[in-house]
Amino acid sequence: MGKQNYTIVVIEDDPLVNRTVEGILADKYNRVITYTDPQRALDELHILSPDLILLDIFLGHFNGLDILEMLRKQGYTMPVIMMTAFSDIKMAVRAMKLGAEDFIVKPLDLEQLEVSVERTLQNYDLRRQVDILSEQLKQEQPSEILGNSEGMQKALELAKIVAAVPDTTVLIGGESGTGKELLGRFIHMNSPRAKGPFVTINCGAIPRELAENELFGYERGAFTGATEKIKPGKFEQAHHGTILFDEIAELSLDLQVKLLRVLQEKSFYRLGGTKEITVDVRVIASTNRDLEKLVEEEKFREDLYYRLNVARIHLPPLRERGNDIVLLATAFVKEFNKKFAKNVSGFTAEAVELMKSYPWKGNVRELRNCIERVMLLETGDIITKESLSFLRASMTPVIGTAKQPVEIKDGQHYLQISKTGVPMANVIKDLIIQTLKITNGNQIKAAKLLGISRAKLRYRIEQLGINISGKNIS
């Protein structure tokens, strides 16, 4: 078994104790760095980004408890184990109040030291995972990837191969709603990084002016309102784990440069900071757009594209997955049976045929929303074709032209719907699609034509499952 990828710093003014501790821990952990000079250790701490500090209390002119208090005030959260030659209960209590993880009395019991270090690192990893998961669990997401179709099986097989190599960068492609984030989590959970955090960042949802803060964090005074001494960003949160850049094509060109540097150097500066931070993360990127085309149009950096495109996985659209549609729909029925306290057993044959023939432009996300809608209103114990009537209506053309070409002047529009009516969402969807086609997919121009903000347009595009990748807008 290889060494565990942790950095441990020992601050102890006795060289013999340093050598002893280093000899014990270096066999198990990747980096064990010792200091007899506390000031030098403090000056170099930001470069090392330690996962654990072993800190003596009596360090000549320095006091370990004062150092611990200073570290906490500066925003360092790594666990600290205190060491001392005196068994003083008051001192131990103060150390714990200041945030020490453990307290060891010298002469050191080497077996106790090993156990304490191992337990402390495990607890630290668990705490970081809990912090990330508490945010992610605010929205329930399916945790299992279902699918027996050829395209999905191929994607999963490739994902398992990639997962085994902990540092390989992955690029996941596919239409909106196909499950790119879920596949990214699958890769993380099946990799050696599974015990570390899985952090996601939606490049399209974060305002451009806040994106750098989110990614790299900031230090006090970096901008108005930056009152915390140190605010870790997403990269620091993902240390020893995985970070997923969802819709990477939306990342601004200046941030693409900074991301490229992190991928190459594994280090960065916090906003307003002067000291370099080192991190150990795997980067996964996802997109529903053609990055090669964006590179040709100089809207995406070519060097970053090739750096991301090490391992590429494509998720097929739901309409190409055949019986997977029924498999997923059944799983969603079980989910909403539990949520809504119902007992729906499944679908009629006609309902199955309707679902399999429907285009599912919003893919798995649209299917899940559809089943949730049906389950909320369903009073019977089986979902029928009539239960899914809103799907049939949306398959009927709702916006068209008269039999003879009609000249549409500025400020005018032409709308034609069937006599049986149509859901308003479908009318809005087609309105947005036609406008995007007029602007060749330019969302800023489309929002201006529609008289709404770009943020509202982006929300509608995602809500309605509109696909704007490549040349086809649908």
Tens of pLDDT, residue by residue over 338-355, are: 999 999 999 999 999 999
**Domain assignment present for 379:** yes
- Identify the pLDDT of residue 359: 92
Better-predicted residue by pLDDT, 301 or 229: 301
216/296 same-domain check = yes
Q: How far is CA 404 from CA 333, 400, 401, 430, in A?
A: 46, 11, 8, 21
**Domain assignment present for 206:** yes
406/312 same-domain check = no
Q: What is the mean pLDDT of residues 143-149?
A: 80
47/160 same-domain check = no
Q: Which residues contact 353 (CB under 8 A, 6 or more apart)?
A: none
- Identify the pLDDT of residue 403: 42
**Domain assignment present for 378:** yes
Maximum mean pLDDT: which of 28-37, 387-396, 439-448: 28-37
- Residue 422's closest CA among 460, 392, 454? 392
Tens-digit pLDDT profile for residues 69-80: 999 888 888 999
Residue 144's identity, in one-letter code, is: E
Q: What is the mean pLDDT of residues 39-45?
A: 92
**Across the beta sheet with 52-56, what order do the strands follow?**
29-35, 4-11, 52-56, 80-84, 102-105
Q: What is the pTM of this model?
A: 0.62
Please check whether residue 257 is in contact with residue 263, taking contact to mean a CB–CB distance below 8 angstroms.
no
32/174 same-domain check = no
- Identify the pLDDT of residue 449: 84
Quick check: 408 pLDDT over 60? no
- Identify the pLDDT of residue 318: 94
Share of residues in the chain with pLDDT > 70 (%): 88
**Domain assignment present for 38:** yes
Of the residues 316, 335, 367, the one at which a domain ends: 316
402/391 same-domain check = no
Better-predicted residue by pLDDT, 204 or 471: 204
Better-predicted residue by pLDDT, 140 or 323: 323
pLDDT band per the 50, 70, 90 thresholds, residue 213: confident
361/266 same-domain check = no
pLDDT band per the 50, 70, 90 thresholds, residue 365: very high
Asked which of 37-41, 146-150, 466-470 is least confident by mean pLDDT, the reply is 466-470
Please check whether residue 268 is in contact with residue 277, taking contact to mean a CB–CB distance below 8 angstroms.
yes
Q: What is the mean pLDDT of residues 415-440?
A: 78
Quick check: 92 pLDDT over 60? yes
- Identify the pLDDT of residue 471: 57
CA distance 467 to 363: 10
**Domain assignment present for 137:** no
- Residue 249's closest CA among 334, 177, 171? 171
Domains of the chain: total: 4
**Domain assignment present for 144:** no
37/160 same-domain check = no
Quick check: 202 pLDDT over 50? yes
Quick check: 219 pLDDT over 70? yes
Quote the domain boundaries for residue 390: 319-395
- Identify the pLDDT of residue 218: 80
- Identify the pLDDT of residue 224: 56
Per the structure block, which two tokens stand in for 92? 């131990």
Domain with 435 in it: what CATH number?
1.10.10.60
Q: What count of residues does the chain have? A: 474
Of the residues 395, 421, 449, the one at which a domain ends: 395
- Identify the pLDDT of residue 414: 64
Q: What is the mean pLDDT of residues 211-233?
A: 73
Maximum mean pLDDT: which of 119-133, 197-211, 373-387: 373-387
- Identify the pLDDT of residue 197: 92
Domain with 40 in it: what CATH number?
3.40.50.2300
Share the mean pLDDT of the chain.
86
294/387 same-domain check = no
pLDDT band per the 50, 70, 90 thresholds, residue 142: very low
CA distance 468 to 474: 7
Domain with 176 in it: what CATH number?
3.40.50.300
CA distance 464 to 460: 6
Better-predicted residue by pLDDT, 416 or 399: 416
**Domain assignment present for 254:** yes
- Identify the pLDDT of residue 114: 93
98/201 same-domain check = no
Domain with 379 in it: what CATH number?
1.10.8.60
Of the residues 263, 282, 316, the one at which a domain ends: 316
213/179 same-domain check = yes
Better-predicted residue by pLDDT, 221 or 233: 233
- Identify the pLDDT of residue 452: 87
161/296 same-domain check = yes
- Identify the pLDDT of residue 451: 82
DSSP states of 141-182: ---S----SHHHHHHHHHHHHHHTSTT--EEEE--TTS-HHH
Q: Where are the alpha helices (DSSP H) in 190-252?
A: 208-216, 234-237
**Domain assignment present for 296:** yes
Quick check: 399 pLDDT over 70? no
- Identify the pLDDT of residue 406: 47
- Identify the pLDDT of residue 47: 87
13/31 same-domain check = yes
Asked which of 48-57, 276-285, 451-460 is least confident by mean pLDDT, the reply is 451-460
Share of residues in the chain with pLDDT > 90 (%): 54
